[in-house]
Structure 1
Amino acid sequence: MNLLITGASRGIGRATALLAATRGWNILVNYASDSLAAEITVQAIEQAGGHAVAVQGDVSQESDVLALFDAMEKHFGPTQGVVVNAGINATSMPLSEMTAERLRRVFDTNVLGAYLCAREAARRLPGSYAASDRDRSPSIVLLSSAAARLGSPNECVDYAGSKGAIDTLCIGLSKELGPKGVRVNAVRPGIIDTEIHASVGDPERLGRIGNQTPLGRPGSAEEVAEAIVWLLSPQASYVTGTNVDVTGGR
């Protein structure tokens, strides 16, 4: 089984790549710019006995998205799973202070990029399996965020809005592709221990908000990866159009 993961060189994408590889998936590790991190991820997969290849690509560029899927087919054959994970955030601030440039950058990557990847998956996945093989039906997993329902006021309402678009994409695309045997689901992480908090200028946010969850702690990238890989698996063969919260109850 062949799995393409966007933004797989670190964080949740990397954790998903490592876990999926242990479950028998061949992995295309997409990255935007950090080639070293991507190669380290590939090495970790191969050291564990899996197969992976790293491919650079900006998901907001249609030509790059097409090249990613072409690279998957070249290295491993037809794509049977796609995790649309690549996304960005920016420095915390209220909407009134955000520039058009910032808004465009967030939406280009998080919305346009996700839709381009999902569109290409919708074109290629339906023909990648035998219709009678329900247990190995192709699957798309989208990465949303708890921010989509919380709104992230005074922090990143642009990011929250971009993830709201992912929730809608999950619902609509699952209904388009269900008759073709392709499942589409989304995962909504909450406060997860990744680099994204430092990237928005608030490295203390992880502990401050994570400790306020009902479970009393932030989550890990590996915990989110478990949900993603389950949705890709035969164990989730009757699950589609669903958004799974991995938020510690927040």
Structure 2
Amino acid sequence: MSKVILITGASRGIGRSAAVLAGARGWSVGVNYASNAAAADDTVAAVVAAGGKAIAIPGDVSDEAAIIAMFDATEKAFGKIDGVVNNAGIVAHGSMLADMDIARMKRIFDINVLGAYLCAREAARRMSTSRGGKGGSLVNVSSAAARLGGPNEYVDYAGSKGAIDTLTIGLSKELGREGVRVNAIRPGLIDTDIHASGGKPDRAHVLGVQTPIGRAGTADEVGESIVWLLSDASSYVTGAILDVSGGR
């Protein structure tokens, strides 16, 4: 059955992989991006080539109006939303907490926490059966940092992802009778360019060899987990937090 999916931060990395894998199932995808229009257009083309439909939708998730607009654009293009992937997130350069300034922390929490909560709120409003929705699936993208703490690098980022875990648990209980399943994935050391954003582009490979599996993961491996949680194959799964971390 064809689904309508909105993915935040879908122009690159895990979000892009999830979008393309959704396209391979014949689904329609709203590809949200913050600033890189060319990368978003490339993702749209890849979704279409895989067999789906897609549109690129600009919008910073720290902006409430932009979030509402991206949901509206997805529904205008494809109809009522069946699934949302709460993926947009940022990390800053590695630093001890004692050396972090407030501007850095505000930006991390505005996007990774407030943005995610606003997207989850909008998903609840659109998909809940009592509000006219047809039910659906919300997949929150957390991080293994939520349970590891990110010491000496980014305890702010780790804390922001801890909030995502808590959101997943609480919202799954709120929406269980509304036909909406809420789950999270916690990626570990995945080979994406978010590590370059943190100043360590080779971080996933350097640390990946220390995992029980012995390597970094790929964005597609995480994307497969996301698409499974969006699909009807996971129909009795809610409130779950799935580690996709190679055993780390």
TM-score relative to the length of structure 1? 0.96
C-alpha deviation, 1:128, in angstroms: 3.0
The SS at the match of 2:20 is helix
Distance 2:114 2:236 in 1: 28
Secondary structure of 1:171's aligned partner: helix
Give how far 1:25 is off. Answer: 1.3
* Structural mapping, 1:80-99, within 5 Å: 80-99=82-101
Name 1:128's counterpart in structure 2.
133
Other structure's SS at 1:105 match: helix
CA displacement, residues 167-219 of structure 1 (integer Å, 9 cap, x when unaligned): 00000000000011110000000000000111111123112211100000000
1:6 to 8, 12, 19: 8
Residues 121-169 of structure 1: CA deviation (Å, up to 9, x unaligned): 000102332xxxxxxx510000000000000100000000000000000
Partner of 1:150: 148
Note the C-alpha offset of 1:49: 2.5
Deviation at 1:16, TM superposition (A): 0.2
Deviation at 1:42, TM superposition (A): 0.5
**Aligned-partner residue type, residue 246 of structure 1:** V
Where does residue 219 of structure 1 map in the other structure? 217
Maintained 8 Å contact 2:25/2:51: no
Q: CA deviation at 1:18?
A: 0.1
Question: Which one of the candidate residues 109, 112, 118 is aligned to 1:116?
Answer: 118
Select the residue among 220, 231, 234 that pairs with 1:233. 231
Q: Distance in 2 between matches of 1:203 and 1:232?
A: 30
Alpha-carbon distance in 2 for matches of 1:24, 1:49? 5
- Where 2:189 maps in the other structure, the secondary structure is coil
Note the aligned Cα RMSD (angstroms).
Answer: 0.8
Which residue is 1:187 aligned to?
A: 185
Residues in 2 aligned to 1:155 and 1:204: alpha-carbon distance in whole angstroms? 15
TM-score, normalised on structure 2? 0.97
Cα contact 2:26–2:51 (8 A) shared by 1 = no
Letter in 2 for 1:85: N
- Looking at structure 2, the residues matched to 185 and 48 of structure 1 have their Cα atoms a distance apart, in angstroms, of 25
Q: 1:36 aligns with which of 19, 38, 49?
A: 38
2:73 corresponding residue in structure 1: 71
**Which whole-Å CA distance do the structure 1 matches of 2:50 and 2:229 have between them?**
22
Question: Partners in 2 of 1:48 and 1:239 — Cα distance?
Answer: 27
The yes-or-no answer on 1:170 pairing with 2:168 is yes
Structure 1 runs of 4+ with >4 Å offset: none
Q: 2:33·2:40 contact (CA, 8 Å) conserved in 1?
A: yes
Deviates more, 1:142-151 or 1:19-28: 19-28
Provide the residue aligned with 1:132 in structure 2: none
| CA apart distance, 1:50 | 1.4
Letter in 2 for 1:212: Q
State the one-letter code of the partner of 2:139.
V
Q: Distance in 1 between matches of 2:184 and 2:51?
A: 28
Counterpart of 1:209 in structure 2 is: 207
Asked whether the equivalents of residues 211 and 247 of structure 2 are also in contact (C-alpha less than 8 Å), the reply is: yes
How many Å separate the matches in 2 of 1:197 and 1:37? 18
* 2-structure distance, mates of 1:62, 1:34: 20
Counterpart-to-counterpart distance in 2, 1:3 and 1:122? 14
One-letter identity of the residue aligned with 2:216: P
In 2, Cα distance between the equivalents of 1:222 and 1:47?
16
* Other structure's SS at 1:192 match: coil
